[in-house]
């Protein structure tokens, strides 16, 4: 308990817990958790200490969140980091701050549901990423999605049909 005898120990523990909690918000949680310790260091000890806190925080927490965590998340959860990033915006928009915190679990829930239905399984296969997935299955899913995209494009780009719709209006 010698470490926690001074104010530095308890504040370090507080900022560490804040960084851990905000780490659940992909991409922007890092920045949100950075602001309070830097401002407190600036208010109590001046600009030089605030810069040391800023650089230390970026090196330690930034390194973990930008290099180590995505690699582990991709391997353990088998989900593409791009899908996590998109999920952050979608769930954050739909549910606000709680959605941003729950973005990864909610995205995984949707992914698991999509894997259990034939119509959405190709999309789920393309959203998964392990590095060890079945390449034939991914190629088949990609071809299926290209076929669907072609149908969508054909529906909206048909000049003949769009002229008929405009004439009817």
Mind listing the pLDDT tens digit for each residue in 78-135? 787 778 888 888 988 999 878 877 888 898 899 889 989 888 888 887 787 656 667 7
The mean of the pLDDT values for the chain is 77
Residue 46's φ and ψ, nearest 5 degrees, are 105, 180
Please say if the pLDDT value at position 57 is more than 70.
Answer: yes
Residue 132 vs residue 24, higher pLDDT: 24
DSSP calls for 8-48: HHHHHHHHHHHHHHHTTSTTTHHHHHHHHHHHHHHHHH-HH
Nearest-CA neighbor of 125 among 163, 155, 164, 80?
80
Q: Percent of the chain at pLDDT above 90?
A: 12
């Amino acid at each position: 308990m010698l470490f926690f005898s001074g104010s530095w120990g308890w504040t370090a523990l507080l900022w560490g817990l804040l960084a851990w909690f905000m780490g659940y918000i992909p991409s922007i949680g890092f920045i949100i958790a950075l602001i309070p310790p830097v401002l407190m260091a600036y208010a109590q000890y001046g600009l030089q200490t605030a810069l040391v806190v800023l650089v230390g925080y970026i090196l330690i927490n930034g390194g973990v969140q930008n290099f180590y965590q995505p690699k582990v998340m991709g391997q353990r959860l088998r989900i593409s980091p791009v899908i996590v990033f998109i999920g952050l915006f979608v769930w954050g928009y739909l549910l606000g701050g709680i959605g941003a915190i729950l973005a990864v679990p909610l995205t995984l829930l949707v992914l698991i549901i999509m894997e259990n239905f034939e119509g959405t399984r190709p999309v789920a296969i393309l959203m998964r990423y392990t590095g060890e997935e079945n390449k034939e299955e991914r190629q088949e899913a990609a071809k299926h999605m290209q076929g669907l995209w072609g149908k969508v494009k054909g529906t909206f780009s048909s000049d003949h049909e769009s002229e008929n719709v405009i004439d009817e209006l």
